[in-house]
Amino acid sequence: MNLRDYRNLFVVCSLGLSFLAFTPVLYGFVPLFVGESFSELSILGPGHLAKDYPFNVRANVEESLYVAVGNHMGESTYYRVNVKLRNQTQSFASDTVPSMLDPLYEFSVFLLNGEKWEKLIRFKFLEISREVNSVRVRKLMVNDVIFIVDYSSEWDSENNGFYFQLFFELWLYDTTLRSIKYNERSVGIWLNMTV
C-alpha cells in the first residue's frame, strides 16, 4: 500500500468511528424509524375486557365501564376525553367532525409515546319519567357529579326500546395550531331504558 491508500483508509475509518460516536446524538434529532402516528380510544366493560358492557339500565342503578387512551404519536401528547350523552336523533361525532353536543364530563391526560391510560367511568341515570311513546331523562350522574340533560328518547319500534348513547370523543393538543383539536376518534355504547 502506498501513502495515498493509507490516507484513504484513515479517512474512511475516521468517518465510520465519528458516525458511531454521534449516532446517539443524531437519534435525538432524527428518528431512525418513523411509523404510522395514531392515537387509540376504546371503552371496556367492568372487567377491563371488550365485553359485558352495560345495556339495560334502570333509574338510580349505577353502571360502570372503562375508557382507555393509547398514545402512538411518536411524541408526548396532551389528550382530552369528552363524555357526552345523546338520544337517537341528536348529533354523533363523525370521522372528521365532533358532535355538536356539549360535553358533560372531561378527562385530561398527558401521555408519553407508547403509554396507555385507563379510567373507570361510573354513571347513573336520575329522574327518569315515562310518557306514552317516550322516556325522559332529566339528570345523569358521572363519577359522582350530577348533570342536567333533560333528553327524551322516542320508542324505537325496529329495536323495541328507548335508547340513549353514552359516547366519548378524543381531542388532543396540536402543537402547530397551539390549540386543542378533535382527533377524529369517538366510541360509544347504546343504553336501553325500556326496563
How sure is the predictor about 36, in pLDDT bands with cuts at 50, 70 and 90? Answer: confident
The mean pLDDT value for 21-47 works out to: 71
Q: Using one digit for the tens of pLDDT, what is the confidence trace for 173-186?
A: 998 889 999 999 99
Cα separation, 155 vs 136, whole angstroms: 11
pTM > 0.85:
no
Inter-CA distances, 7 with 16, 21, 32, 184, Å: 14, 21, 31, 58
Class (C level, CATH) for 38-192: mainly beta
Q: Using one digit for the tens of pLDDT, what is the confidence trace for 98-123?
A: 999 999 999 999 999 999 999 999 99
- 46 is written with which cell numbers? 367492568
Residues 121, 144 contacting (CB under 8 angstroms)? no
How sure is the predictor about 4, in pLDDT bands with cuts at 50, 70 and 90? Answer: low
Q: Where are the beta strands (DSSP E) in the chain?
A: 38-44, 63-72, 77-87, 105-111, 116-130, 134-142, 145-154, 163-174, 179-192
Domain spans of the chain, in order of start: 1-33, 38-192
For 33-56, give one letter per residue: b (16+ CB within 10 A) or e: eeeeeebebebbeeeeeeeebbee
The mean pLDDT value for 11-18 works out to: 59
- 45 is written with which cell numbers? 366493560
Cα separation, 118 vs 13, whole angstroms: 50
Per-residue pLDDT, 6: 58
Locus of grid cell 449516532? 23
Mean pLDDT value across the chain: 87
Per-residue pLDDT, 13: 58
Decide if pLDDT at 7 tops 80.
no
Question: CA-CA-CA-CA torsion for 93, 97, 103, 107, nearest 10 degrees?
Answer: 100
